[in-house]
Amino acid sequence: MVKVEPATVVEASQLFDAGAARVAVQAAALRDPNLIASLTRTFGSEALAVAMTAGGEDEDWRVFLSHHGDASEWDAVTWARVAEAQGAGELIVESRSGGRHGGPFDLELLAAVSAAVARPVVASGDPREIEDLFDALMIGNADAVVVGSLVRSGRRTVREVKVFLAEHGLPLQLDP
């Protein structure tokens, strides 16, 4: 996977011309929220995800330009609502420091963003166990979760993840 964030409609067009099915924006959208609307007018909301990295405590989550970047003026819930209003197809939510109890996802942040918007919310983090994925989906109310290094490292397979989640009440399509 290559991470390239388009900062303009022209740059996004180049990514789509190169075969991208969807693009995600983060810092560029924080600098110019109207970029989200421009991208969705041109390519449709299904082609655009807005990523956010947030950090903070006690429901005061500040949105950052990137995982190691500077804080923006936006709080996470307000930014999620703005991104949705501008037409984002989905929101990818990552906690800058993980969850309150050392988990890879800030479940309270995920739940707050999920409750604030009707768009799908994707939990992004570094899950160590399948249970982390389950928690993001069930407690954080995420619509999807990035499995990342859990599968890449070989600790678990995609099939094991699907079987575990299905066995715990999340109906999934299991490939043969």
pLDDT digits (tens, 9 = 90+) for 106-161: 999 999 999 999 999 999 988 989 999 999 999 999 999 998 889 988 999 988 99
> For residue 81, with 0-12 CB atoms within 10 Å meaning exposed, 13-18 middle and 19 or more buried, which class applies?
middle
Which residues have CB under 8 Å from 67's CB, separation 6+? Answer: 53, 94, 96
Quote the Cα angle for 129-80-30, to 5°. 105
Q: Is 3 a member of any domain?
A: no
* Summary count for the chain: helices (H), strands (E): 8, 7
Q: What is the mean pLDDT of the chain?
A: 89
Q: Is 147 a member of any domain?
A: yes
Summarised one tens digit per residue, pLDDT across range 70-81 is: 888 999 999 999
> What does the alpha-carbon distance between residue 130 and residue 157 come to, in Å, rounded to a whole number?
10
> What does the alpha-carbon distance between residue 91 and residue 111 come to, in Å, rounded to a whole number?
13
Q: Is 40 a member of any domain?
A: yes
Confidence of residue 13 (pLDDT cuts 50, 70, 90): very high
At 24, which CATH number? 3.20.20.70
Q: Is 35 a member of any domain?
A: yes
Q: Is 121 a member of any domain?
A: yes
Asked if 22 and 50 touch (Cβ cutoff 8 Å), the reply is: no
Is the pLDDT reported for residue 68 higher than 90?
no
Q: Which run of H or E residues covers position 74?
A: strand 71-75
Q: Is 1 a member of any domain?
A: no
Asked if 175 and 159 touch (Cβ cutoff 8 Å), the reply is: yes
> What does the alpha-carbon distance between residue 107 and residue 85 come to, in Å, rounded to a whole number?
23
Q: Is 4 a member of any domain?
A: no
| Residue 152: domain span | 9-167
51: number of Cβ within 10 Å: 24
> For the chain, how many structural domains are there in total?
1
Q: Is 118 a member of any domain?
A: yes
